[in-house]
Amino acid sequence: MPTIYRYKGFRFHFFSGEGREPPHVHIRRGEDDCKFWLQPVDLAYNDGMKAHELTELERVVNEHCEEFLRKWHEYFP
């Protein structure tokens, strides 16, 4: 489960067995977890994140989307 980015205590990562799904990123802090699709950026699910956190995380995903996509395709060739 490679960590690809850290931001304010949030860990952005992939799960190793998910290469058959469309590109996405999981974000975790403590027990809270969410997942964003990368093309287009869209919330896939949320388990515990507050609305204002999701807004901020979506902004971060949009800002780093190209980098996250590059890392996705490097990890899942």
Q: Read off the pLDDT of residues 16-42 as tens digits, 9 standing for 90 and up.
A: 889 899 999 999 999 999 999 999 999
11: confidence class by pLDDT, cuts 50, 70, 90: very high
Higher pLDDT, 8 or 17: 8
43-54 mean pLDDT: 98
Query: Domain locations in the chain?
Result: 3-75
Q: Which of 11, 9, 10, 70 lies closest to 1, judged by CA?
A: 11
Q: Which runs of E-coded beta strand occur in 1-77? A: 3-7, 10-13, 24-29, 32-38, 41-47
How far apart (Å, rounded) are the C-alpha atoms in residues 4 and 27? 10
